[in-house]
Amino acid sequence: MVSNGIIENSSTFSSILTISANAGLFKQGVEIHSRVVVLGCSMNLYVASSLVNMYIKMGFIDFAFKLFYDLPKRNLPIWNLVLRGICELGRLSEFLRLYSDMKMENVEPNGVTFCYLIHGCCKERLVDKGRQLHSHVIKNGWLESNIFLANVLVDFYSAFGILVDADKAFECIPPQDVISWNSMVSVYAANDLLHEAVRLFEEMRLWDKHPSAMSFVALLNLSSRGKELLFGKQIHNFVIKVGIDYGSVLIQSALIDMYGKNDDVQSSIDVFQCSHERSLECCNSMMTSLLHLGFLQDVFELFSWMVCENIVFDEVSLSSTIKALSLYSSPSLDNCCLLHCCAIKSGFDSDSMVLCSLIDAYSRSGQIRFSQQIFEALPSPNIFGFTSIINAYAQKGMGYECLAVFEEMIQRGLKPDKVTFLCILLGCNHSGLVEEGKMIFDSMRTIHDVYPDRRHCSCMVDLLGRAGLVNEAEELLMHASSEGDSVMWSSLLRSCRIHQNEHVGRRAAKRLMDLEPEDPSFWLQASNFYSEIGEFETAIYIREVAVARKMSRDIGYSLIRVHEFH
């Protein structure tokens, strides 16, 4: 065209630049830009819009901004274009400033504008600003006429867990929009609202709407978290019945995970073996299911099979295998080193999940110094890294080291969670640090706004009992939300026997027998306590009652023979 002496116009430039941007021909697009400048077309609104679009797709948002603000006049489409670019490139801190500039120039926004603005508020966690924008949407009457805007509002409120408002936005969407139905089912499932998710799922079927694979995955994940095996089987049967992409990797991996989390390992294996493609996702789901159920040797065998079949493993596969190794009573140091080398060779030696598993595995193999070296090499350890090294120190009875790492964690501005506190309390327990343990336990609620659960209370009862503070331990149990369980009262009774506290021991023995009327081990513990304090008649009576109820002690055994991992 140019070689024939035909001069390009603005329409030509706009079309060619759009084609170049969509095809990823950025080098040619930049050359065309130089031609635009030569011919003086850069201030044309349509050409400028195409240029801004191209540079946004190239990732040059600052240069796109310069072109945008150099324009003498900007219309609504180019404002929306820049807003979209900010959302896509993650420059969300600037989208409110851009909206303010837009209002100053008296450019009236439309529904598309608010789609980008509300999406930006969602990513930046600006719930109040998002609500304000929602009020503008209602004022302009766009909600009933703009399905995309209603869907954005559903996603926005769902992200903040404000399901009442998400439901209101959903009700404004016509039933013909199947995407919204699937989205709302996933929202309810993600928030563990089983009945609401099932209700909406049934309504979809009444409206003859077809659930997507993502809806089924969300429902299966809900079954996994809620231990709803029957519900999970019903979803499985429905998937088979309607023939919805049963071979989908997402659905198959969700099914494997669902059965595994519900302790049905055989069904999990059946789904895995029947899958058309043994994908990485299915292998990872199978591995985590086996790990959850304690089939450690099978985890190693599956990992070895993946390597032999040239299925490239990822950080999930590797960390699951290392985790399985750490769960052995005495992990082999050679196997720890072997998997560590595997992590280095595969490039996962900087992955937080893999390194946390290695910290745990090395400490359990008796090499706490290797755990220390891995932790110290972390460029910016997160809460999981800190918790892993605290747990490693706790297992070795290094209570002061646990407290030192915890202090460093707080100084870095990281918020400890329940697992972190449990590891610290275990470290104090194994080291006999009573006052420090009490201080940490008290700080959970008063300083860190973390409420202790039964595991924390059980650890504190054991710590206080070992130190002979059985009265304090009993008081803690009585003030616990459930007044303690049988494990806690058993721990207290054991401490009373060691420290010969008859008064607290009597109350603990009675409470223990009330809680576990059918468990012989607890009754025998109570009988032994009464024998030790000289009340032989009571001890004999307790044993006779146990025999009369035909209680017997079953000896446990393992279903899995664990071999050495080579």
Model pLDDT, residue 303: 93
Is the confidence at residue 180, as pLDDT, over 80? Answer: no
**Could you tell me which residue, 138 or 507, shows the higher pLDDT?**
507
The least confident of 4-8, 398-402, 478-482 is 4-8
Nearest Cα to Cα of residue 54 among 32, 27, 26: 26
- pLDDT, tens digit (0-9, with 9 covering 90-100), for 376-406: 988 888 999 999 999 999 999 999 999 999 9
What integer pLDDT is reported at residue 377 of this predicted model? 87
**Which amino acid is residue 145, in one-letter code?**
S
The first and second tokens of residue 504, run together, are 């607290």
In this structure, which CATH number among 2.60.98, 3.30.70, 1.10.1450, 1.25.40 belongs to the domain 462-566? Answer: 1.25.40
CB 493 within 8 Å of CB 509: yes
pLDDT of amino acid 408? 94
Q: Tell me yes or no: is domain 174-286 CATH 3.40.50.
A: no
| pLDDT > 50? residue 559 | no
Residues 6 or more apart in contact with residue 519 via CB below 8 angstroms? 486, 551
The per-residue pLDDT for 524 is 86
Provide mean pLDDT across the span 523-547: 87
Q: In Å, how far are 4, 363, 367, 385, 565 from 335, measured between CA atoms?
A: 72, 13, 13, 21, 7
Task: Tell me the per-residue pLDDT of 457-476, one tens digit each, with 9 for 90 and over.
Answer: 999 999 999 999 999 999 99
**pLDDT of residue 492 exceeding 90:** yes
Instruction: Point out the least confidently predicted range of 243-257, 286-300, 512-526, 550-564.
Output: 550-564
Confidence check: pLDDT of 338 > 80? yes
Name the segment(s) of the chain with CATH classification 1.25.40: 174-286, 462-566
Give me the pLDDT at residue 246, please. 58
Closest residue by Cα to residue 259 from 291, 218, 224: 224
Cβ distance 84 to 51 under 8 Å?
A: no
Predicted TM-score of the model (pTM): 0.69
Name 50's Cβ contacts closer than 8 Å, sequence gap at least 6.
13, 14, 15, 17, 18, 21
For 194-207, what is each residue's pLDDT tens digit?
Answer: 888 888 888 887 87
Q: 241-245, 395-399, 410-414, 415-419: which range is least confident on average? A: 241-245
Higher pLDDT, 360 or 87: 360
* Average pLDDT for 445-458: 91
